[in-house]
Structure 1
Amino acid sequence: IGLGSNDYLNNYFMPTFYSTGNQYSPDSFANDLINRYTQQLRIMYNNGARKFALIGIGAIGCSPNELAQNSRDGTTCDERINSANRIFNSKLVALVDHFNQNTPDAKFTYINAYGIFQDMVANPSRYGFRVTNAGCCGVGRNNGQ
């Protein structure tokens, strides 16, 4: 289950369209998302689900779209976005630990998408990539617009 990326990309960090980023600190926004995540996981658990893989948010601030819009050189990641993503991920890890401690008949696993993405950017050839700052099929700067 992967939740949260869209909430950051298409809400929290879109001040032209949404006031969320001005209303919530990164910590309080992450808390709100985690509370909603918790409610949905409890519903799934109460309906019989017992195995959960929860995927953290990747380094969205390093995506081609964010590099195109927010990076002066087209290669430097947006730390403001990545910092918010790390806050969410740390709360998600705590949520996984909480569920594993309190629902012994279920198994919750955290998948570190942020770490995986960072390793792919740092070691692209290991994954068969040569270009890490541009999309394959987009338009505009970095093929990310």
Structure 2
Amino acid sequence: MIRAAAVAVVGALLVAACSTSAPDRAGDRAAIEAALRQWPSAFNAKRIDDVCGLFADDVVLVYPDSPDRDHREFCDQMRALFADRSKSFTYAEPDIREVRVDGDLAVVRVMWTLTVRDAAGRVVETVVEDGVDVFSRQSDGSWKIHISHAFTKE
């Protein structure tokens, strides 16, 4: 049900998007993929500005069994996560399944793998997250996530 609603919202956003200039979809896809591929190294190095920088100021982040988060709440959560000395968190390079660009909006299907280790370095959990992200082109031409919907693969 949640997936169907997310797909309907994404579809409506894409239909509503239009561009008056000739689109550079290949360039836009490459920019979005580059932003996604750099994110794990920023996360793994705990570079909070770069971690938060992938997300638009008006982002809405949706994750099962959690309240929706905005930019500030997400960044606060990341700061707390990075400060936790009892565990370490590492993201692998994303598996980008699909990037669809239409004007100033893009939809991305992506799989993320997060490894959680205890203080001794033992793996305590590996989480595979399936996600759909809606990117929007910012006024400076960069692409940032406007809506992020992730759910675990179990």
TM-score, normalization: structure 1? 0.26
Structure with more helix by fraction = 1
Of the two structures, which has the highest relative contact order with CA contacts closer than 8 Å and spacing of 6 or more?
1
Structure with more strand by fraction = 2
